[in-house]
Homo-oligomer: A and B are copies of this chain.
Amino acid sequence: MKPRRSFWAWGLESDEPTQQQRREMAEKLSKQFGVAIQAPPMPRSSDLRLRPPRISPPASLAAICATDDHDRALHTYGRNFPDRVRAFNLQFPNPPDVVAYPRNEAEVRAVLDWCSEVDYVAIPYGAGSTVVGGIEPPDGYDGVVTIDLSALDKVLEIDPVSRAARIQAGVFGPALEDQLRPHGFTLRHFPQSFEFSTLGGWLATRSGGHYATNHTHIDEFVESVRMVTPAGIWESRRLPGSGAGPNPDRLVLGSEGILGIITEAWMRIQARPRFRASAGVKFATFLAGAEAARQVVQAKLWPANCRLLDPGEAAYAAGMDGSHALLVLGFESAEVPQGEFMRQAIAIARDAGGLIDEDDIKIADDAAEGAGRQGSVGAWRNAFIRAPYQRNLTVGLGLVGDTLETAVTWDRWPELEASVRQALVDTVQRVCKGGRVTCRFTHVYPDGPAPYFTFEGLGRRGAEVQMHQEIKEAASAAVMAAGGTISHHHAVGRLHRPWYDQERPDLFAAALRAAKRELDPKGVLNPGVLIDP
């Protein structure tokens, strides 16, 4: 039997912490904040008491549909802060009524047909790692069917010459890599949610991946997409490039389940890297590090990794002392040695005031998987992968924290950094009486960075969701005012709607609504996401 996902924690039920671990965390936080924090008991699946399903699947679909409380609870929320708190607190006022697990495209169509016929909401679901309410059932409908694609988990075809693979949309990150690895390939798309997110989810949300420069979003790796819509099949021609009309794939990418259900895609894959180079360059200030990152990316050296941590983040996530920012540079290739690229990047970084000893520039011209992952760079990487699990220890202890990301042009970046940080610091201070605000760049472009803010403070148990919302709203308003985007790679969902509505052209929303009417005439697909129903 497949290991079961936790309905509240990141990962599987076996990833849930022990009560002892959570007590230790509570003690640690008690000391940190100077107040007594208790670790309440963790919720169990047997504690769930959900509203009974309001609808039943037709007999023809009964075999692939689940209506038990665990399945429906698991499919009620994503994994952002309010989701985790509500799930931990067993608050599931509006779960889906039915969770369907189609095993093939015909069953995807059958489920969608059923929803269209009887006007039930249909919510496409990958692995539920959304942090923007992208899969949360909306209020005010008679029935909600969540369509879990996880059974579509195969790599169907590999073209080693073109380096491309036809892949089913429901495959999770690790299973996808497991199927490519024997052939010497990798997709190398590693969002932080990698373990519990799917190809279809990445495509539907324009996920940001492994590469910090050049080809940053999953968008750039798409040859063609196949999507089931209530109006029929949408499939684009598999091409390395084209200039024939507006790119059809680009309307699917980022459509967040409102136009159809992506069932498979031809994706560009990579040969597994053999040559690597990595370095962590210290800077006196975040802005000095940003200047170096700007120059490196404008020189088009295209490092795979070009992440800049502010001093606070460098201390928290990479074990540094808090006095310096850290620019993590990484180059990799299956074909050509990377030392020269790194040397050129280091020369630029040093000219911009960066500090690194010659010995700390790691150049590995061999196939060892772990090469170049020592020191502060390795520490940062481990912290990145473990972060979502780490939060399993703190949910329900009263902490209020989250991350938010944007992208902005370099000319506006210093002002955005200052104003968003100030908004976070002020609101965290007001709401939580103090806490931690840090920032890093996850991706950088020749014309601007993608800054990623993290905040954390101590809230009041029971009020965390409201407190979180207050902070999030202040930061989002600051992002908008400073010319940023409401999301670089977390998507829009239901949570980001107010600011997304300020960002996108009104006429684009009109065009998208019109397109949706063609593909989903009854409006059953994920209503409320991106546009009003």
Interface of A with B (CB < 8 Å)?
159, 161-164, 205-208, 214, 216-217, 219, 223, 229, 231-248, 250-256, 259, 268, 271, 294-295, 298-302, 333-337, 340, 344, 348, 407-411, 443, 445-450, 483-492, 496, 500, 503-508, 510-515, 517-519, 530
Report which of B162, B219, B255, B510 forms a contact with A231, defined as CB distance below 8 A.
B510
CB proximity of A521 to chain B, nearest CB, Å: 11
Q: Which residues of chain B come closer than 8 Å to A449, judged between CB atoms?
A: 240
Q: How many copies does the complex hold?
A: 2
Enumerate chain B residues within 8 angstroms of A484, measured Cβ to Cβ. Answer: 239
Query: Do residues A488 and B242 form an inter-chain contact, with CB atoms below 8 A?
Result: yes
Identify the interface centre among A219, A239, A344, A515: most chain B CB within 10 Å of its CB.
A239
- Residues of B contacting A219 with CB < 8 Å? 247
Which residue of B is nearest A515, CB measured? Answer: B511
Distance of A252 Cα from B492 Cα, bound (Å): 21
**In the bound complex, do residue A409 and residue B245 qualify as a contact, i.e. CB atoms below 8 Å apart?**
no
How far apart are the CA atoms of A490 and B410 in the complex, in Å?
33
Query: Is A409 touching B229 in the complex (CB atoms < 8 A)?
Result: no
Q: Known contacts A335-B295, A335-B348, A409-B164; decide if A448 and B240 are in contact (CB<8 Å).
A: yes
- 9 contacting pairs across A/B (C-beta < 8 A): A162-B446, A163-B446, A231-B507, A231-B510, A240-B408, A246-B512, A251-B511, A512-B515, A514-B514
Q: Say whether A299 contacts B333, CB under 8 Å.
A: yes
CA distance A335 to B446 in the complex (A): 13
Find out whether the CB atom of B251 lies under 8 angstroms from the CB atom of A246. yes
Is A504 within 8 A of B245, CB to CB? Answer: yes
Find out whether the CB atom of B162 lies under 8 angstroms from the CB atom of A448.
Answer: yes
Q: Closest chain B residue to A220 by CB distance? A: B220
Whole-angstrom distance between the Cβ of A500 and the nearest chain B Cβ: 5
Given contacts A298-B335, A302-B300, A336-B344, contact A447 B246 (CB under 8 A): no
A31 to chain B, nearest CB (A): 39
Let me know if A243 and B254 touch, CB within 8 A: yes
**B-side contacts of A508, CB under 8 Å:** 234, 236, 248, 251
- Distance of A449 from chain B, by nearest CB (Å): 7
